[in-house]
Amino acid sequence: MRRRLYYMLPDIPSARAMLDELLLARIEERHIKFMAREGTLPDDMPDCSFLQRTDLVHGAQLGMVIGGIVGLGAAILLTMFPPDGWTLRTATILAVALGGALFGGWASGMNAAAIPNTKLEQFAPRIAEGQVLLIVDVPPRRVVEIEEMIAKRHPEISFGGIEPPALAFP
């Protein structure tokens, strides 16, 4: 499990320098992401993915929970009051609840794909001004080391915070 650190960098050249320093500190490039205004980040720098830029994952998770609950309720009502001539079993409850969860996850995920990531909305005004957001995932034992390295070498960089550890299963 890794801890996610956020830093606001003043411009693209300082972002490139920070990328080099993190690579020298043996942080793999796949754990380093940058977010800048559209079209300003060079192609050779790791950019945030679609999943990181949008609320797709959170929306799909929420939709699955709500869809599962609604599906379960509908299935219970369907078994308590079946249509004339039908005999419904317990498997119907599970099937309809699963169908509700899948449909809810899909529908909510589609809607959430158009919404910017709510965890990153606090950085949006500064990104619009031309600053660059650095997102770096580090092992918990190296958090203090990386924070101290960045603070020592780049006092002009503002610390954006640490994302709390996520649960293994929400």
What pLDDT is stored for residue 169 in this prediction? Answer: 42
- What's the confidence (pLDDT) of residue 45? 85
Q: What is the pLDDT of residue 2?
A: 81
- pLDDT, one tens digit for every residue, the chain (170 residues): 788 888 888 888 888 888 888 888 898 888 889 988 887 888 888 888 787 877 888 888 889 999 989 988 888 888 888 777 777 777 778 888 888 899 988 888 888 887 777 777 888 888 888 888 888 888 888 888 888 888 888 777 777 777 665 544 44
Which of 132, 62, 140 has its CA nearest to residue 104?
62
Report the mean per-residue pLDDT for the chain: 83
CATH architecture of 3-49+118-162: 2-Layer Sandwich (3.30)
Q: What tens digit of pLDDT does each residue of 140-153 get?
A: 888 888 888 888 88
What pLDDT does residue 164 have? Answer: 61
pLDDT of residue 166: 52
Question: Domain extents for the chain?
Answer: 3-49+118-162, 56-112
